[in-house]
Amino acid sequence: MDIIFSVVLIIAGIGLFAMIGADPAAAASPTELGAAFWPQIILAIMIVLSVVNIVTSLKKMKADGKTVTSDIDVAGFFKSKLFIGMIAVAILALVLPTIGFVPACILFLIGYGILLKADNIPKLAIISVLITIVIYILFQGALDIMLPRGTGFFRELALTFEKILPF
């Protein structure tokens, strides 16, 4: 996995190096280093270090008698709680602009709570709603942070909540 990541870094690094170098606006002048100078230096260092890392890893792998793919368990990863957790957090970020903060927060708290094996689901649901109310009043009301409202029906719902707020 380590070697694969380093290879990805090298390929991406070479691509970005070429891309920024090909931009004529980023070229240097006698008294200006140009927009390409700094990123190209960093990319060059990163590529060299990644090559060093691959060589070191290969040596270590040979000594341990492992192969490039021996530490990778793709099927196990997709079945793991970690993968579901990553998906849950990604879904939260993606649905936030559509369904708004309040529904997204309640659903996430319940969903992730179940993933983390909460003992009592009805109790978890009640706690999730209460936590959402406290967070909403604190941030949207007291601190005046405009939390995402969502679109359509969810936006109307959010506007109704905002009218109820005491602040």
How many Å apart are CA 140 and CA 148, to the nearest integer?
10
Residue numbers of the site for other proteins (CB under 8 A)? 1-2, 5, 9, 16, 19-20, 23, 25-26, 30-35, 37-39, 42-43, 45-46, 49-50, 52-53, 56, 80-82, 85-86, 89-90, 92-94, 96-97, 105, 108-109, 111-113, 115-119, 124, 127, 131, 135, 138-139, 143-148
Task: Provide the CA 73 distance to its chain's centre, in angstroms.
Answer: 22
- Is the CB of 90 or the CB of 165 nearer to other proteins? 90
Q: How far is the CB of 109 from other proteins (least distance, A)?
A: 5
Q: How far is the CB of 27 from other proteins (least distance, A)?
A: 10
How many Å apart are CA 141 and CA 53, to the nearest integer?
51
How many Å apart are CA 151 and CA 159, to the nearest integer?
11
Query: Kind and range of the H or E element at 134?
Result: helix 121-136
Q: How far is the CB of 6 from other proteins (least distance, A)?
A: 8
Q: How far is the CB of 152 from other proteins (least distance, A)?
A: 16
How many Å apart are CA 60 and CA 48, to the nearest integer?
19
